[in-house]
Amino acid sequence: MTHPAPVPAAPAFAAIVVAAGSGSRAGGAKQWRLLAGKPVVRWSVEALLKAGAQDLVVVVSAGAEAEAQTALAGLSGWRLATGGDTRAASVRSGLQALGGPGDRPVLIHDAARPLLGADVIHRLIDSLDHADGALPALPVADSLRRAAGGLVAGAVERDGLWRAQTPQAFRYQAIVDACAAWPDAEPATDEAAVLERAGGRVRIVEGDARLMKLTFPEDFAMAEALIPRQIRVGQGFDAHRWGPGTSVWLCGVEIPHDQTLIGHSDADAGLHALTDAILGAMGDGDIGDHFPPTDPQWKGAASDRFLVHAVERLTARGGRLVNVDVTLICERPKVKPHRQAMRERLAGILSLPLDAVSVKATTTEAMGFTGRGEGLAAQALATIELPA
């Protein structure tokens, strides 16, 4: 029997996440916007902490501290620094907040590149053994043209050209000294350019297409599409007893009937089963946890609000519904004449296309509590997608 190889310890490193931009091209300060249910800045802070960052400073504009606290709530191992008017000033502020030791690797990252993987982080830190700095980059694949007035004015040789990304990695004292030597009046492209000007050798390591920078509003949709997702399924079941009445609510539709279903809310068993199916797919408890029947405010409540609540919980986690399938089990009333109205109502509440919403009905051939007309039962399945 052999023992598994020991897992190498994550290298000790510190990190600065620059989140001080105003992001005018992306329509507002993009670092606080939600990407798959999570603030943009939180994606890279989580990635750096998970990869083993031992000291992490998030640089924000003066006045944005509360927004940052909210965006990073519940995470530990990070602290705030206040940025300056320029990117260079913000980086200097982050470096000052961080402090030495001088040979410690420091990663400097743009919050606008949220999809940061551990492999890029490790490649960067490893490369500091052989260089003063390192940046991830991708070779330019498209052919390049210079243009003027909407007309092509010559080709640009792409050989040797790379698209630089962040994070960029440095030894602490080397980048502090290089920043101090940089002329204030001149805007710097990035910290690698600053180090290079100071005579440092900057190594290129393999970048990652998912490290795209969120620059324009449409970039958010592209980044969302790059996030790995998992399919989950949940099921729900509910039953209510028949009692005196003149109509019954089923799947959000009121049907005239010589009885009604008895319950604390409107007793819509179809909506209750479906709410439980969505909560079940998320591992988020059941309808009774979210709307206790002992709470008088839910007495007689329209059950569509329970369903809306479950969908809001799903959306807040960056998830979305794929399809739902409800089965109503009763001898009476006849469900078939109302099925289309029920599907349309559910599709409206859930913002799903009609073909992703199914309502079916069955009897139990006079057997059991539904067969004897004591009550109605409902079953539901919901398929969801969640960020993996």
- Is the Cβ of residue 213 or residue 309 nearer to Mg ion in the bound state? 309
- Pick 164 or 301: Cβ nearer Mg ion: 301
CB 383 to Mg ion: min, Å: 22
| DSSP label of 21 | -
Binding segment (CB under 5 A) for Mg ion, from list 79-87, 227-235, 238-246, 274-282: 238-246
The full DSSP string for 299-333 is: TT--THHHHHHHHHHHHHTT-EEEEEEEEEE-SSS
Compute the least distance from the CB of residue 267 to Mg ion, in Å: 6
In the complex, what is the shortest distance from the CB of residue 276 to Mg ion, in angstroms, rounded to a whole number?
Answer: 9
| Stretch in the footprint of Mg ion (CB under 5 A) among 105-113, 235-243, 245-253, 358-366 | 235-243
Contact region with Mg ion (CB under 5 A), list: 88-96, 244-252, 271-279, 375-383: 271-279
The secondary structure of 135-156 as a DSSP string is EEEEE--S-EEEEETTEEEEEE
Question: Residue 315 burial by CB count (10 A; 0-12/13-18/19+): exposed, middle or buried?
Answer: middle
Neighbours of 47 (CB within 10 A): 21
Alpha carbon 225 to chain centroid, angstroms: 11
Please work out the total of residues on this chain that contact Mg ion, with binding judged by CB under 5 A.
Answer: 2
Q: Decide if 388 contacts 229 (C-beta within 8 A).
A: yes
Q: How far is the CB of 293 from Mg ion (least distance, A)?
A: 9
272 scored as a contact of Mg ion (CB under 5 A): yes
- Residue 33 in the binding site for Mg ion (CB under 5 A): no
Q: How many helices (H) and strands (E) does the chain have?
A: 12, 19
Beta bridge partners of 60: 19, 82
The residue assigned the tokens 């243009």 is 147
- Least CB distance from residue 238 to Mg ion, whole Å? 4
- In 128-256, DSSP assigns E strands to 133-139, 144-148, 151-156, 162-164, 168-171, 202-206, 229-244, 247-250, 253-256
Q: Which residue is nearest to Mg ion, using beta carbons?
A: 272
In angstroms, what is the minimal distance from the CB of 263 to Mg ion?
6
Instruction: Considering the complex, state which of residue 53 and residue 261 has its C-beta at the smaller distance from Mg ion.
Output: 261
Phi then psi for residue 375, to 5 deg, are -165, 175
Between 134 and 378, name the residue whose CB sits nearer to Mg ion.
Answer: 378
Q: In whole angstroms, how close is the CB of 34 to Mg ion at the nearest point?
A: 32
Q: Let me know: does 280 contact 273? Beta carbons within 8 Å.
A: no
Longest CA span, the chain: 88
Would you say 200 or 375 has its CB closer to Mg ion? 375
Site string for Mg ion, 185-224 (x = CB under 5 A): ----------------------------------------
Nearer to Mg ion, 162 or 237 (CB): 237
Considering the complex, what minimum distance in angstroms separates the CB of residue 297 from Mg ion? 16
Query: Which amino acid appears at position 33 of this protein?
Result: R
Q: Which of 238, 266, 276, 304 lies at the binding interface for Mg ion (CB under 5 A)?
A: 238
Q: Which is nearer to Mg ion, 16 or 324 (CB)?
A: 324
Which residues neighbour 328 within 8 Å (Cβ) at sequence distance 6 or greater?
250, 251, 269, 270, 335, 359, 360, 361, 362, 376, 377, 378
23 backbone φψ class: left, alpha, beta (φ>0; ψ -120 to 50): left
Closest to Mg ion by CB, 21 vs 252, is 252
Q: What x/- string results for residues 128 through 167 when contact with Mg ion is judged by CB under 5 A?
A: ----------------------------------------
Q: Which stretch binds Mg ion (CB under 5 A): 29-37, 232-240, 306-314, 359-367?
A: 232-240
Q: Which is nearer to Mg ion, 190 or 238 (CB)?
A: 238
Amino acid present at 307: L
Q: What are the two backbone dihedrals, phi and then psi, of residue 335, each rounded to the nearest 5 degrees? A: -85, -35
Strand bridging mode 229-244 / 259-262: antiparallel
Tell me the closest approach of the beta carbon of residue 2 to Mg ion, in angstroms.
55
| 266: contact with Mg ion by CB under 5 A | no
Query: What is the closest distance, in whole angstroms, from the C-beta atom of residue 240 to Mg ion in the complex?
Result: 6
Closer Cβ to Mg ion, 19 or 271, answer by number? 271
Residues lying near Mg ion in the complex (CB under 5 A) are found at 238, 272
